[in-house]
Amino acid sequence: MKKIRVRVMTGAEFDTLGNNDNFTWDDNVVLIVIHDNGKICIDLQTECTRVTTIINRLRKAVEGCTDSRITEEIRKDIIDWLDGIVEGIGYGVYSDASRFWNSETGREEFTGDYSYGVEFVGDDDMPEWYMFLNFLTSEAIDKAIEAAQSAETTQTTENTPDNTNTPIAGAETTTDTITESADSAEREDKTMTDRKTTIGLQALMLTAYERYGSVGMSEYKEMLIDELDIDKDMISDYNEYRIENGYEPYMVYDDLCELLEGCDPSEIIRMVYFGGMRFSDDYFYFNGYGNISSCTDYEIIKEMKEDREFLTWYLENSADVEEIDEEEAQEVINECNKMIAQGY
């Protein structure tokens, strides 16, 4: 088994290292760069034949790292990210990054909040895998939320009148009533705290969509689209969207058989042959030449993820998506713009 070493450094140390023209990096060394803003950057290349091997080697190296700069919180964040990457690979996803749709340029652009990638870079004689992982720590995110809550609390205090010397009406209130009121107030405080946390977290996420010094409703919707959990349950909505826009829907095998009932067998054979249909696939469709093609549900999911117009349609039309709360959305937008003004 390859011995994996860990090298930890600050962002400033890494920048200095990068300016050294004589510097070379060895394989089997995990480089972990900790930036002042809470961003962690990890890099590893090692000789192995399976993708799971490089991830397991990185995991063990992080678990055994004794550098004091790798706190337990950072260690847990890294392990959690590795678990997520392994799950993504199970679905064929070997890379991902936080991104938004730039309506002006007509393409996706990366925000830099997180990114990872795993790639085979060797050959049959020397199989090697390379991976990188960049992300914001949980602590950095919590600090941003705390700052947002503190700013909102300060504003609320400034707008609250001082009723210290105001006589209390109904002094004869019973103990039970007082207790009930206290419990109710405690529940309301908890609900308010939870709501502030949610709004603060959403506002922090929304800062990634800022392009011209502020954000608005269009950026808020872009964030909601990026947060959609796109899976095969959305294929029925995708078919509805495709039909509305003049495209052929994806059909399961039984629907295809029903549609082809009564057709000439030789014509069916021709459509299957020239369409490249595979009976082992999950869905079938007529291509632009009238032939029958097929695909897996994963291929449709990938297509849906890349179809920004469909995702916008889905957000606005699907019964599975809650209608946007305009008041809450505006709170998130306002809080986000405060964060942007503070340098987030």
- For residue 284, what are the CA distances in angstroms to 23, 249, 259, 280? 54, 9, 11, 10
Are 142 and 132 members of one domain? no
Are 14 and 34 members of one domain? yes
State the residue range of the domain holding 336: 138-159+195-228+324-344
Domain-located, residue 155: yes
Q: Are 53 and 28 in contact (CB under 8 A)?
A: no
Are 143 and 201 members of one domain? yes
pLDDT of residue 111: 62
Are 292 and 342 members of one domain? no
Are 212 and 340 members of one domain? yes
Domain-located, residue 283: yes
Structural domain tally of the chain? 3
Closest CA to 3 of 34, 44, 52, 33: 44
How sure is the predictor about 115, in pLDDT bands with cuts at 50, 70 and 90?
Answer: confident
Q: Which residue has the tokens 């509805």?
A: 240
- For residue 290, what are the CA distances in angstroms to 252, 271, 272, 330? 17, 7, 10, 48
pTM of the model: 0.44
Domain-located, residue 177: no
Are 341 and 200 members of one domain? yes
Q: Are 69 and 34 in contact (CB under 8 A)?
A: yes
Domain-located, residue 166: no
What span, in angstroms and rounded, lies between the C-alpha atoms of 140 and 133? 16
Residue ranges in 245-325 assigned as alpha helix (H): 253-260, 265-275, 297-306, 308-317
Domain-located, residue 202: yes
Domain-located, residue 331: yes
Strand intervals (E) in 59-196: 95-102, 107-120, 128-136
Neighbours of 300 (CB within 10 A): 20
Q: What percent of the chain has pLDDT over 90?
A: 18
pLDDT digits (tens, 9 = 90+) for 168-200: 555 454 555 555 655 555 555 545 555 566 777
